[in-house]
Amino acid sequence: MTIIAAADGSALGNPGPAGWAWYVDDGCWAAGGWENSTNNRGELTAVLELLRATAQAGLAGEELLIQADSQYVINSLTKWIHGWRRRGWRKADGKPVLNDDLMKELDAAMRGRHVRFEWVRGHVGHPMNEAADQRARAAATAYQRGTSVPSGPGWTRVGAAVTADSASSDTPQSFTQEDERTLF
């Protein structure tokens, strides 16, 4: 069984009011944010909160496919994190890793899990990415305006996951060259 979800972040000003969101469908999503942060922290937090939500639902043993429009997130968590960990959370040039607090939490949350990432081009109509983006932006906007932050219902799938076989019609099942998707 494969859980398919989109994760996205948003910052108004970067840094500025910021939000994060993960999205499975209209009945299963979560969002949050801060008065002042960056887009990258929003993107990373969306992935972390998705990992936490699925683990708490007892789905840590299931494959998780995370669709993201952030090459920074995907490269950080699939390519660079291993070297950073070996070097004591330092980059190859010896400088500290940016967002190392989140990177350490993500590293721990992904251990023992089967997590794959799929890059999707942002802002081109990908249904799940657009839904995550709208929710992350809504959270950032709520912080900017000082209004209530739409946090979503959270993980609502008790013992079940959205899978490639049972996903809603909003989830594309085929990949085309026009989508310019790259699997990592």
pTM (2 decimals)? 0.86
Nearest to 21 by CA among 114, 142, 175, 165: 142
Residue 176: band (very low, low, confident or very high) from pLDDT cuts 50, 70, 90:
very low
Domain of 35: which CATH number?
3.30.420.10
Mean pLDDT lowest among 68-77, 83-92, 119-128, 147-156: 119-128
Q: What is the DSSP letter of 89?
A: S
Residues 93-104 have pLDDT tens digits of: 999 999 999 999
pLDDT of residue 124: 87
Check residue 146 and give left, alpha or beta (phi > 0: left; psi -120 to 50: alpha).
left
pLDDT of residue 178: 26
Q: Give yes or no for a contact between 4 and 68, defined as CB atoms under 8 angstroms apart.
A: no
What domain range includes position 54? 2-172+179-183
* Average per-residue pLDDT for the chain: 87
Mean pLDDT of 151-166: 68
Residues 34-82 have pLDDT tens digits of: 999 999 999 999 999 999 999 999 999 999 999 999 999 999 999 999 9
Q: Is the dihedral of CA 27, 75, 63, 86 positive or negative?
A: negative
Q: Give yes or no for a contact between 51 and 115, defined as CB atoms under 8 angstroms apart.
A: yes
State how far the Cα of 149 lies from the Cα of 160, in Å rounded to an integer. 27
Share of the chain above pLDDT 70, in %: 85
pLDDT of residue 64: 97
Q: Give yes or no for a contact between 6 and 22, defined as CB atoms under 8 angstroms apart.
A: yes
Active site residues: 8-9, 43, 69, 123, 133
**Half-sphere exposure in the Cβ direction for 80 (13 Å, CA):** 19
Residue 10 buriedness (CB in 10 A; 0-12 / 13-18 / 19+):
buried
**What is the number of structural domains in the chain?**
1
Residue 159: band (very low, low, confident or very high) from pLDDT cuts 50, 70, 90:
low
Q: Which residues pair with 33 in a beta bridge?
A: 19
Confidence check: pLDDT of 180 > 80: no
